[in-house]
A and B are shown apart, each in its own frame.
Chain A
């Protein structure tokens, strides 16, 4: 009986499995068969062993476990007949793998078979060994295999060669033994042996550097000759594939030449001629030819530089790119990525074609082309390239958009020359594909906008326009809402209109409309709504006429189930209602976010404590330290989004910002100032540097002892000093802490109420143009702190504008400056500016106060600065 007729049984089994309609049926059939096979195995059935093995293999292919059949394989291998051996070895390779211990049992059988007289059996054994031998088996059987390398039959030789590849992979130490025999293989005529011989040498070079050297020196010319003969050989029917003789051998040889030529100039020189010949002579209308050309180009790119060859290679790639066959284009794009590192000029020439590939219908080509475009971008071509990419973004498919957006954003960020262009592109991207944009990216957009002070108006107007059309993009809405909040007045007044803009009139209520829509939208998430509430607060200060309407909107969120929104709504609405006088100070313009620090922090990534709010921090001072009870803590953040947790990094940053040393800066807080005064405002609001030695007011005692809070507590005192806060109002629970802070300043009256010992006023500073007087008072029970009211008056006939008073004190003193009453000083002392200061003397009683002052103002459009030192403070202040 012919064992390879597969018997009716295997066929029947296959038929019955095919006839199964459901998976459950199939499982039943398979289980029955497995049971039958197991029974046959335990009976040690000889006749049907091969058939059972064939069935087992089929079942294994379907994915069912078949380990009970492994011993059968071994028995089959051990049997003398060729067919059984054959199927046994096949089973061995399919059903087992190198990790099974059963494999060790086969070693002896294989050894015997390697020495068999029948060369086919030898071949079988070599095959099995080459596919699944383990390290121990390799060591045992290596000498046998080496002997077989010299066998008379080429088929055996070729199989032995491949077997050796596996052996040296498993046991690299044995590699040296095989260098010489491998080199002799290269002189073979038989293609099969040559093929495997070349492969063996390539792998030897990878494993052992010594082999690489040997082959480089001895074999390079020989190889070149072989390749030449092959390329020039006449038609050989055996190996011909569409007109080319044995393209596989071509490719293997080219690969080996690549390994040899890489890093070595001499070897590369040898190869130049043949590479040129192959590159030019090979026909490229068939796939086989293209395959050879592809390998040739890869080799040219990897070996040492030869200008002419490289140009040739890139031309070939260019031809590939315009080929209609997708496969060829894909392969060309792949290779071009490697070529860029070598010669980017040449690749730039093909930029247009590559851009077309980005829009191709094939996903693989699109991906490759996009990566290539990303590598091609440089300063000169960034604008047209970005325009193309952004245009494509609108029509691209959703899976691709994520990648495309990320790439566009990084290109724009890296190469943006002008801020206008950057803002334009980023806004377009946000409106098209906002949801794929990462958080850091849109934070960066905000940072850039704040830095470009001349573009504030332009930015906010563009955002306003965009949000009308693309209002469903959450990220765009967030950025827009933030900007409207900050620069709403510019939006309405039309300040800073650039030439390229179209005129647009926006009323205050339009602006509020936009924010109202955003906050009410179902699709807005928590962050967006929180940002909208903050913006509404800012707008209520900038557009006082809409204040009532804004309050109505905010009030709706007082009962929100989300704690964040409820808290904000309660606090903001109380500010709008009852504290109009501090409102404008609270929501002044943000200080410009320092880009360098910001990108440094991005790299350092300080984790945010309060994850909810990441937007719009405003200059609201920190109410309470504990993050759970007040979301205001995150609002103190002076740079974009991370919370100034009492951690070293956060605190350190604030320290830097404020300057630990008492640098001379307490300026007037005004509006629309440049960055310097921005930081000065901060210095103003927060105490300078070192933790306050004391603060006897009850408010800081209520708060935690964190550094930030002490400062901010003082800030609150300061801010509320101009207002007379009414005390003891019963308030809703959420904002009680805030209200207490605002109301609880009764013990710290700011106006000199003269509750303590009085001190004479002094003329602190007098020049021909200006006079400064200080009036002193102290609070009862707080001898270290002095409240000073400074009055400035103008002695000249010219009025002064932009009047700024700055003061510096030595380290043992602490200085707080309140906002001045104005910054214009009329002439001839017809009016005066007054400003309150508070000085705390930590060396009270031991040292008296001294102060250096600097006054800056504009007279007749000229900037004037005056300096002075005040030494005549009363002694016991």
Chain B
């Protein structure tokens, strides 16, 4: 419900981060990612950020070389999801400092941790950056 999946994909179509909140087999995931990414990459800057695909919607935004795609149910507020994407980027930015694609790639598990703090079971849990980053910073200090 709510959010079905979150993907981060670069301009060549390679998946950099994938978090699914509903069950799909590996082949389904690959097929889904391929289709969606092709659709989103083909759109121009001027077109709106919402794409309808099968029975759900995809909200996407491009930040530098990375596309952030969020698949949501039809009833979800699309503008709110756009805000959420921005929040996610800002959180990662605060943690990594000027985050870029390589940061996410090489610190994949940290990116996952952050995402987990923010979204659980398809619902947005926490929206305050300090609250999100607190456990992660503690963990880093502890180790």
Binding site for B on A (CB under 8 A): 2-4, 6, 10-11, 14, 54, 57-58, 61-65, 82-83, 86-87, 90, 93-94, 97-99, 120, 123, 127, 130-131, 155, 158-159, 162-163, 165-166, 169, 191-192, 195-196, 199, 203, 238-239, 241, 246-249, 251, 255, 287-288, 290-291, 294-295, 298, 325-331, 361-365, 367
Contacts and interface: CB of A to CB of B under 8 A. Distances in A.
B128 A238 contact: yes
A329 B48 contact: yes
B82 A97 contact: no
A362 B120 contact: no
Contacts of A246: 127
A191 B116 CA distance: 17
Nearest to A18: B105
B138 A97 contact: no
A135 B84 CA distance: 30
Nearest to B138: A120
B47 A123 contact: no
Interface string B77-120: 11110111011000000000000000001111110110010001
Given A192-B125, A192-B126, A195-B124, A63 B26 contact: yes
A328 B78 CA distance: 10
Nearest to A248: B127
B128 A192 contact: yes
B30 interface: yes
Nearest to B61: A327
Given A61-B15, A63-B30, A362-B47, A90 B82 contact: no
Contacts of A248: 80, 83-84, 124, 127
B80 A86 contact: no
A162 B123 CA distance: 8
A158 B128 contact: no
Contacts of B120: 127, 130-131, 159, 162-163
Nearest to B129: A238
Contacts of B128: 191-192, 238-239
A120 B143 CA distance: 14
B87 A241 contact: yes
B127 A6 contact: no
A298 B46 CA distance: 26
B48 A162 contact: no
B108 A4 contact: no
B99 to A, nearest CB: 16
Contacts of B17: 61
Contacts of A199: 123
Nearest to A240: B128
B48 A291 contact: no
B26 A365 contact: no
Given A2-B143, A61-B17, A295-B80, A327 B108 contact: no
Contacts of A241: 83, 86-87
Nearest to B105: A14
Contacts of A62: 15
Contacts of B116: 90, 93, 127
A90 B139 CA distance: 14
Contact of B106 (A14, A83, A288, A331): A14
A247 to B, nearest CB: 6
Given A287-B83, A364-B52, A238 B130 contact: yes
A99 B22 CA distance: 11
Contacts of B30: 63
Contacts of A363: 47
A326 B26 CA distance: 34
A94 B112 contact: yes
Contacts of B26: 63-65
A674 B109 CA distance: 82
Given A127-B120, A287-B79, A326 B131 contact: no
Interface residues of B, number: 52
Contacts of B29: 63
Interface string B50-89: 1110000000000000000000000001111011101100
Given A14-B105, A97-B23, A162-B120, A361 B143 contact: no
A14 B16 CA distance: 11
A165 B126 contact: no
A83 B107 CA distance: 14
Given A241-B87, A248-B127, A327-B79, A130 B113 contact: no
Contacts of A249: 127
B106 A11 contact: yes
Contacts of A65: 26
Nearest to A162: B120
A326 B80 contact: no
Contacts of B138: 120
A660 B124 CA distance: 72
Nearest to B22: A97
Contacts of B130: 238
A364 B77 contact: no
B21 interface: yes
B50 A158 contact: no
Nearest to A11: B106
Contacts of B131: 155, 192, 238
Nearest to A54: B109
Specify which of B15, B17, B135 lies most central, judged by the most chain A CB atoms within 10 Å of its CB: B135
Contact of B83 (A93, A247, A298, A331): A247
A3 B143 contact: yes
Contacts of B113: 86, 90
A90 B112 contact: yes
A6 B106 contact: yes
A291 B82 contact: yes
Contact of A364 (B51, B86, B110, B123): B51
23 contacts: A6-B107, A58-B108, A63-B29, A63-B30, A65-B26, A82-B142, A82-B143, A90-B113, A93-B116, A94-B112, A127-B116, A155-B131, A162-B121, A196-B123, A238-B129, A248-B127, A291-B77, A294-B77, A295-B80, A327-B49, A328-B79, A361-B47, A362-B46
Given A82-B142, A87-B109, A291 B83 contact: yes
Given A287-B83, A295-B77, A99 B48 contact: no
Nearest to A244: B83
A155 B82 CA distance: 25
B100 to A, nearest CB: 14
Contacts of B127: 191-192, 195, 239, 246, 248-249
A385 to B, nearest CB: 24
Nearest to B59: A327
A682 B90 CA distance: 80
Contacts of B51: 364
Nearest to B27: A63
Contacts of A294: 77, 79
A743 B119 CA distance: 87
Contacts of B107: 6
Contacts of A127: 116, 120
Nearest to A288: B83
A241 B49 CA distance: 20
A117 to B, nearest CB: 15
B132 to A, nearest CB: 9
Nearest to A1: B143
Contacts of B84: 248
Given A54-B108, A195-B127, A331 B78 contact: yes
Contacts of A247: 80, 83
A249 B120 CA distance: 16
A251 B123 CA distance: 13
B124 A290 contact: no
Contacts of B105: 14
A721 B49 CA distance: 76
B121 A166 contact: yes
A57 B125 contact: no
Contacts of A82: 139, 142-143
Give the interface centre of B26, B83, B106 by most chain A CB atoms within 10 Å.
Answer: B83
A47 B48 CA distance: 49
Contact of A162 (B15, B106, B125, B139): B125
Contacts of A87: 109
